[in-house]
Amino acid sequence: MSDRTAPPRRLFAVPPAPTFDQATAPLPPHDFHIGENNSAHIGQLPNFRAMAFHVIGKAPMLTPVIHADPIGAGVYSLGALIGDATLKLLRPWPLYGNDAFAADPAQSLILDIVDTMMPLSPGADGVRFSFICRMGEFLEIALHHPGRLPAIIASIDALTNARLTERARETLITGIDPGASDLWIEERPAWALAPGAGGAS
């Protein structure tokens, strides 16, 4: 009889490590609750980290270097959507008489969103980049085209939680935000327009 101890027998197979499958995974929570109970805070926003990982690879983009960008347009659509939601969160709304309610100062709220709600991992960090660009677009319009602000402010006032949630759902599914132009349409400079499209002929 051998003195060696037989290795223990494995009675159950070790299950494979779980993998994330976008095609079968349920959509992460994406409901917006901005302004509920006459308050405004980042707790009324959905989990942007979970949403960011869900849209990686959605709506692949063609590039001149590679056939298709594996990150996709979804992360950039989501970042811009978060920018619109942030403007809605920051917009004061009237209460009674001459009173108005407003969220925390814009700079601290934007920092909180960037630092605590945005992913840092490669790929998903495109959401952070797109969010900052969206806020920069608004700042550029305010500084260079202030005449456009009344229409944009009116669009922010008209933006509802239901619309933001609808846009988020479609972005999570397809990577494309159907309301990308809800607040403003990006205007290209005259030099970038093709002949006959408003640029130099």
Please report, for residues 13, 19, 143, the alpha-carbon distance to residue 16 in angstroms, rounded to integers and kept in the order given.
9, 9, 55
Cβ-in-10-Å burial (0-12, 13-18, 19+) of 15 comes to exposed
Residue 39 CA, distance from chain mean position: 22
pLDDT in tens, the chain (201 residues): 555 555 555 444 443 444 455 556 789 999 999 988 888 888 999 999 999 999 988 888 766 665 556 788 899 999 999 999 999 998 876 555 555 555 556 777 888 888 888 877 777 888 999 999 999 999 999 999 999 999 999 999 999 999 999 999 999 999 999 999 999 986 544 433 344 444 443
Inter-residue contact 31 to 85 (CB < 8 Å): no
**For 41, phi and psi rounded to 5 degrees?**
-160, 165
What is the value of pTM for the model shown?
0.75
Inter-residue contact 103 to 87 (CB < 8 Å): no
